[in-house]
Every structure is written in structure tokens, then in C-alpha cells.
């Protein structure tokens, strides 16, 4: 464990990315406060957080809900940094207006708490590639200057506009709040996030990613040409941008774009024990056209990716086996 680096807060620390970030911050020498949703009957098992190395001394768990933005105040007071990862569950919450309001107002409440604390030096917000993927411009590769046009996405009449709208409007509102109030806000834009996981439930991105092993054919179309990043690289990028004095604005964090056929070839070679559809049988799948994402800004600032596709698969499969999903 590194030397003490200071007190930081992670919102949504019980989730897939949040819990990995908590683990990594503890390893880096931070004292961490994390928020989980209220659990009055203490039914939820979060031992995967409380049993992390260093957690007994350096991890403090607070209860907070985006529905009540002021509920984050106590966790943020006195922190030097906040990593805002929490977002309403896109599979459970699909009413665009409700989910967008909850996400935007919850986030602005968190940012006000950061401002009022007078101790928070920088906020790192976990955005999403959905905020740059649907500009309607038909580019093959996009960078941080691109913004999704929510109306354009709505006109496509495809699944997911509530998530696309909520993430896009939340990131825009956060950056605007930072500009108007002199609060440093850096946003990270990941595509599909893959790798091992600590949480007890199967993360939705892992479920999508492993659809060829899990047998969820209806998901193939979403993986036709998907960009990906390892969860460990993504959380390292969060910490890198928090610590880098020159970090400013938006940062795409995406390793590579992989075709469904290449995933099939890779999985078949690596896991012959599973019935993986052949690359040839997948050629006819009509996928959604997706653009690539340039991580040049992040790389130019000195960040280095450590994990390739093999690590993403191995981590995801191993965690699924350990937790009984495979």
C-alpha cells in the first residue's frame, strides 16, 4: 500500500466500476469514503467492500441516494476529491424524464456539496461513450469534441434513449456547473467496461459482453463492432486524471473496437468447453453501426493502458465462475 494520499469520496461504491475504484484507491494510499444506497434493514451483503485490504482502517461507508442530493453532503465534507460514479440503473429505470431528472439533479447536488466543502480540489465524473456516439454525423472515429444529439438518438427509435439522454445531459450539466462555479471537473468517457468484478451481482456490461458464452442471442446485435476497455484501466485513468495537475475537460478511455466475429474466434480458441457460435454463423447479424472512439487526448497526457482483450475476457470469465454465473 502506498503512503497516505488524502481523503476522497466515491459515489456508487457498491457497483461494478465503483467497487473496483474503491479497491484501487485504497491500494494507492487514499482514505476512502464511499456511498451506497440506503439499506435500512441491513439486508445487503457488501462484505466485498469491507473485506478489501486496508478497508478496516481506511474505508468508510455512507448512505446516500441520488433522489435526495443533500444525502451526499456528509460523505463529501472534508474530502480532497470526489469520484462520481453512481447512476440510476439503466435496466430498471427507463422513463427518460424521470431518470434524467434524477441523474442531473443528483449530480448537481453532489457538485454543490463539493463547492460548499471548500476542500474538494477536483471532481472526476464517470460519463459514458453514449454521450459521444450518436451525433448523427456518420463519422467512423470520434473524439471529445463530439456530443450526442439526443433528438437524433430518439429519432432512431432504438433501445436506450433514457440512458443516452440522462448521461449526455448529466455530463453537460456537470461541465457547465464547473465552468460557472470555478470547480475543477474532469469527465471520463468509457465504452463497454469489461474485466473481473468484486460485486455480487452480474454487472450488465459483463452480461452483454459474455452473451456468446451465456447464450443470450438477442444481445449479439449490440456487439457487432463494440469498443471496450478493461475496468482496471478505466479506474486507473480516473486516479491518473485526479492526480494530473494539467487534466481538464473530457477524456475518452477506450482501448479497442472488436468485431463480433473476432470475439467468437477468440472465445472459441480460449474456452473450447463452451458452445460458442462460429464466426461464420455470425456474419449475417445485423448490428447497430457504431463509431470508434479516440483515446489520443488521454494517451498524450501520459496515460498507458495495461490490459488487452485477453485480460478482459479472462477477468470476466474468472469472476463469473467464482461467483457462480458460469
Q: Among candidates 260, 242, 192, 177, which has minimal Cα distance to 28? A: 242
The verdict on 50 binding ligand NAP (CB under 6 A) reads no
Q: Is 128 in the site for ligand NAP (CB under 6 A)?
A: yes
The grid coordinates listed for 237 are 485513468
Closer CB to ligand NAP, 18 or 178, in the complex: 18
Q: How far is the CB of 190 from ligand NAP (least distance, A)?
A: 4
**C-alpha cell at position 167:** 448521461
* Measured distance CA(36)–CA(31) in Å, rounded: 17
Q: Confirm or reject binding of residue 105 to ligand NAP (CB under 6 A).
A: no
- Cβ 122 vs Cβ 185: under 8 Å: yes
**101 or 265: whose CB is closer to ligand NAP?**
101
Q: Is 123 in the site for ligand NAP (CB under 6 A)?
A: no
In 182-215, alpha helices (H): 204-209, 211-214
Among 9, 18, 252, 317, binds ligand NAP (CB under 6 A): 18
Q: Given the rule CB under 6 A, which of 14-22, 137-145, 287-295, 298-306 is the region that contacts ligand NAP?
A: 14-22
Considering the complex, what minimum distance in angstroms separates the CB of residue 151 from ligand NAP?
A: 21
Is residue 67 close enough to count as binding ligand NAP by CB under 6 A? yes
Question: How many angstroms separate the CA atoms of 10 and 25, rounded?
Answer: 9
Grid cell of 312 as nine digits: 478482459
Q: How far is the CB of 313 from ligand NAP (least distance, A)?
A: 15
Given 88, 195, 196, 277, the residue binding ligand NAP (CB under 6 A)? 88
Interaction between residue 168 and ligand NAP (CB under 6 A): no
- CA 242 to chain centroid, in Å, comes to 16
Interaction of residue 193 with ligand NAP, rule CB under 6 A: yes
In contact, 18 and 41? CB cutoff 8 Å: no
Query: Would you say 132 and 147 are in contact if contact means Cβ atoms under 8 Å apart?
Result: yes
Q: Are 203 and 16 in contact (CB under 8 A)?
A: yes
Record the cell numbers describing residue 79, joined without a space: 474530502
| One of 192, 212, 282, 298 touching ligand NAP (CB under 6 A) | 192
Contact 311, 195 (CB under 8 A): yes
Least separation in angstroms between CB 199 and ligand NAP: 6
Q: Cβ of residue 52: shortest distance to ligand NAP, in angstroms?
A: 15
Which residues, other chains included, contact 268 with Cβ-Cβ below 8 Å and sequence gap of 6+?
276, 278
How many of the other CB atoms lie within 10 Å of CB of 261? 18
Interface stretch with ligand NAP, choices 79-87, 138-146, 173-181, 243-251 (CB under 6 A): 79-87
* Interface of this chain with ligand NAP, residues 200 to 219, rule: CB under 6 A: 203, 205
Cell of 138: 456518420
Selected binder of ligand NAP within 51, 89, 137, 278 (CB under 6 A): 89
∠ CA 242-82-208, nearest 5°, is: 85
Judged by CB under 6 A, the number of residues near ligand NAP is: 24
Footprint of ligand NAP (CB under 6 A)? 12, 14-18, 36-37, 65-67, 85-89, 126, 128, 167, 190, 192-193, 203, 205
Amino acid at each position: 500500500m502506498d503512503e497516505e494520499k488524502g481523503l476522497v469520496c466515491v459515489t456508487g461504491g457498491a457497483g461494478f466500476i465503483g467497487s473496483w475504484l474503491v479497491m484501487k484507491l485504497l491500494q494507492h494510499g487514499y482514505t476512502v469514503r464511499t456511498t451506497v444506497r440506503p439499506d435500512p434493514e441491513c439486508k445487503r451483503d457488501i462484505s466485498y467492500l469491507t473485506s478489501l485490504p486496508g478497508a478496516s482502517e481506511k474505508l468508510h461507508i455512507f448512505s446516500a441516494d441520488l433522489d435526495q442530493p443533500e444525502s451526499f453532503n456528509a460523505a463529501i465534507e472534508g474530502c480532497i476529491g470526489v469520484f462520481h460514479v453512481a447512476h440510476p440503473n439503466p435496466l430498471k429505470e427507463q422513463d427518460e424524464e424521470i431518470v434524467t431528472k434524477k441523474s442531473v439533479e443528483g449530480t448537481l447536488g453532489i457538485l454543490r456539496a463539493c463547492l460548499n466543502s471548500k476542500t474538494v480540489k477536483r471532481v472526476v465524473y464517470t460519463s459514458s461513450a453514449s454521450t459521444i456516439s450518436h451525433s448523427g454525423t456518420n463519422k467512423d472515429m470520434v473524439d471529445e469534441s463530439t456530443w450526442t444529439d439526443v433528438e437524433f438518438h430518439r429519432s432512431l427509435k432504438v433501445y436506450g434513449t433514457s440512458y443516452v439522454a440522462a448521461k449526455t445531459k448529466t455530463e453537460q450539466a456537470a461541465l457547465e456547473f464547473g465552468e460557472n462555479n470555478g470547480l475543477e471537473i474532469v469527465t471520463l468517457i468509457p465504452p463497454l467496461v469489461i474485466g473481473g468484478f468484486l460485486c455480487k451481482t452480474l454487472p450488465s456490461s459483463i452480461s452483454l459482453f459474455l452473451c456468446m458464452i451465456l447464450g443470450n442471442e438477442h444481445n449479439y446485435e449490440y456487439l457487432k463492432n463494440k469498443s471496450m476497455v478493461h475496468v482496471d484501466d478505466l479506474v486507473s485513468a480516473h486516479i491518473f486524471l485526479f492526480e494530473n495537475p494539467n487534466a481538464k475537460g473530457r477524456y475518452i478511455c477506450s482501448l479497442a473496437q472488436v468485431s463480433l466475429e473476432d470475439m467468437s474466434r477468440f472465445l472459441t480458441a480460449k474456452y473450447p468447453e463452451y458452445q460458442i457460435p462460429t464466426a461464420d454463423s455470425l456474419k449475417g447479424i445485423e448490428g447497430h453501426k457504431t463509431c470508434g472512439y479516440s483515446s489520443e487526448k488521454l494517451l498524450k497526457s501520459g496515460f498507458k493502458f495495461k490490459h488487452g482483450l485477453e485480460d478482459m475476457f479472462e477477468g470476466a470469465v474468472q469472476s463469473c465462475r467464482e461467483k457462480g454465473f458460469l
